[in-house]
Structure 1
Amino acid sequence: MSEPVLDLDGIEKGYKIGKPGEIRVLRGASVRIQPGEVVALVAPSGAGKSTLLHIAGLLDTADVGNVRIGGDDLTQARDRARTAARRQSVGFIYQFHHLLPEFTAAENVILPQLANGVARAAAEARAAELLARVGLENRADHRPAAMSGGEQQRVAFCRALANKPLILLADEPTGNLDPGTADVVFDALLTLVRETGMGALIATHNLELAARMDRVLHLQDGVLVAEPTG
């Protein structure tokens, strides 16, 4: 089996809520995600899904446990190394698109590539390719305000994939969309992930969408539990 694109091992995380209280959100969560694998993360609000995604994406640190991305152990990495790994190896998608309103769809996909040192011409070509894959080639010159919610979220997907990350982390990526639009947007997401061969960990409340992924993990009492198959 190939090297996992994401390997979380025994992740624990707690937050102080006063003296001497503490809430333990994660209590030994572990998961390995292979290239091309799409994994659903299901749990009630407040159970720790976002915390787990932030640790996986190097936006937060675990109290205990190890984080490896593409085989690189980043558990104790310094800030500069963590920032470089986020930029080069991790893509993020949130419930709200967070596009830059003053820039076009294409420019929103180009900018993270320029920040990663990609030449302008190559960044423009990559943006055009990604937007075409999600059916937005005719909207490349439109700013977010001139696009629908589903179109904006598809641009956000393209932006997250712009630097060819190893792992895509998504937090309720269709949660702000109506059911019909959510299906269209999710189809685009699955297509992009499978075509590029990256791995994906997608937090969702939508059990129908979760069932379309390769496997489903439930976050229960701070531990990841696989949903029975068959």
Structure 2
Amino acid sequence: MSDPVLALNGITKTYAKDTANPVTVLQGVDLSIAAGEVVALVAPSGAGKSTLLHMAGLLDTPDGGTVTLNGQEMTGESDRRRTRARREDVGFIYQFHHLLPEFTALENVVLPQLANGVSKAQAQTRAADLLARVGVGERADHRPAALSGGEQQRVAFCRALANEPRLLLADEPTGNLDPGTSDQVFDALMALVRSTGMSALIATHNMELAARMDRVLRLEVGQLSAI
């Protein structure tokens, strides 16, 4: 059996450790995600799901435990090595799209590829293909302000997948949308993820969406449990 794409072992994290009221948000979290597996993460507000996603995506470092990505233990690696791993192996999606307003939809998906050394022609071809696959190909030359909320988030999905990461991390990716649009956009995201065979950890408050993934995990009182 191949190594998991992501493995967290004994992850702990406490904020304000040097004050009288430290807050421990992760208490020995263990998590393993296999290749091609899509896992839902549900949690009450303030339970630490964003912190957990930041640990998984190498945006933050744990106080204890290890983070292994694609078989490589990353916890003690240099900032340069961690940055390279984030750029090449991890895609991020947030509740708000964070698209660059001065660039078109196509350009927003092209830019991360250029930063990763892909030629402009190849980047444009891949960007156009991704946008078409999520139903916004005809909007490729529009800037974010001219797109609907659902279209903006679809473009954000494409940007996250532009460099063909092995792991997608999403924090409430449809939480900013109305229920009808949320369902449509989530369908587009799942189709894109399934077609690439990537792994994903998707945080959501929507239990109906969570139930459509391979597994559902709950983060509460600093620990993960299966639902």
Where on the TM-score scale, by shorter chain, does this alignment land: which range?
A: over 0.9
Q: Deviations 1:85-109 (Å, cap 9, x if unpaired)?
A: 0000000000000000110000000
**Percent identity (aligned):** 71
> Structure 1 segments of 4 or more deviating over 4 A?
none
Distance 1:181 1:42 in 2: 20
Judge which range, 193-202 or 11-20, deviates more: 11-20
Which residue in the other structure is 2:94 paired with? 94
Q: Deviations 1:13-37 (Å, cap 9, x if unpaired)?
A: 0001663331110001111111211
Which residue in the other structure is 1:41 paired with? 41
Which residue in the other structure is 1:204 paired with? 204
Residue 195 of structure 2 aligns to which amino acid in structure 1?
E
Which residue in the other structure is 1:79 paired with? 79
What secondary structure does 1:224 align onto? strand
Matches within 5 A, 1:136-175: 136-175=136-175
Residue 168 of structure 1 aligns to which amino acid in structure 2?
L
Matches within 5 A, 1:1-230: 1-16=1-16, 19-227=19-227
* 8 Å CA contact 1:5, 1:198 repeated in 2: no
* 8 Å CA contact 1:112, 1:162 repeated in 2: yes
CA RMSD of aligned residues (A): 0.9
Distance 1:150 1:19 in 2: 42
Flag structure 1 segments of 5+ consecutive residues without an equivalent: none
Q: When the two structures are aligned, how many residues end up with a matched partner? A: 227
Distance 2:2 2:144 in 1: 39
Q: Deviations 1:27-54 (Å, cap 9, x if unpaired)?
A: 0111111121110000001000000000
* 8 Å CA contact 2:44, 2:220 repeated in 1: no
Assess, with a 3 A threshold, how the Cα gap between structure 1 residues 123 and 186 changes in structure 2: closer, same or farther: same
Flag structure 2 segments of 5+ consecutive residues without an equivalent: none
Distance 1:164 1:18 in 2: 40
What secondary structure does 1:30 align onto? strand
Distance 1:79 1:192 in 2: 30
Distance 1:21 1:41 in 2: 27
* 8 Å CA contact 2:88, 2:163 repeated in 1: yes
Residue 188 of structure 1 aligns to which amino acid in structure 2?
A
Distance 2:147 2:16 in 1: 42
